[in-house]
Amino acid sequence: MQLIPVYRITVFVPPAHLEALKAGILAVDALAIGDYREVLWTAAPGLEQFRPEAGAHPALGAPGELTSAESIRLEFSIPRDAERLRRVIVDGIHAHHPWEVPAVFVDEAVFPMP
């Protein structure tokens, strides 16, 4: 078994935008692990809430208003490479996500390759 250092990236997205976001991410990275490509995990819709402050330009809701919306958790991994991570986040996620500030989380992990 080989332990491959990876970034595990989690992003929450409204269901109507899931496929466009996946396509945007895959346009900048194949998300390959071993002999598999386009490796992603999705979790059933949950509920996201936020209250934009003055100066925000939300795609949903209004400044000062508590807003909630369905969102899907999308996760994937890439080898630990800072430039690759930047491309995936900037060109793949931010460029294709409907929110002004997408909820994106990056963890360092290892992927056990048999």
Domain ranges of the chain: 2-113
How far is it, in rounded angstroms, from Cα 111 to Cα 1? 10
Task: List the 2-13 sheet strands across, edge first.
Answer: 41-50, 67-79, 2-13, 104-113
Burial class (CB in 10 A: 0-12, 13-18, 19+), 94: middle
What does the block give as tokens for 16? 């109507």
**Mean pLDDT value across residues 86-112:** 97
H helix or E strand, kind and range, residue 78: strand 67-79
Structural class in CATH, domain 2-113: alpha beta
Q: What is the mean pLDDT of residues 94-107?
A: 96
What was the pLDDT predicted at 45?
Answer: 87
The amino acid at residue 110 is: V
pLDDT on residue 51: 95
The pLDDT tens digits of the residues spanning 13-72 come to 999 999 999 999 999 999 999 899 999 999 988 999 999 999 999 989 999 999 999 999
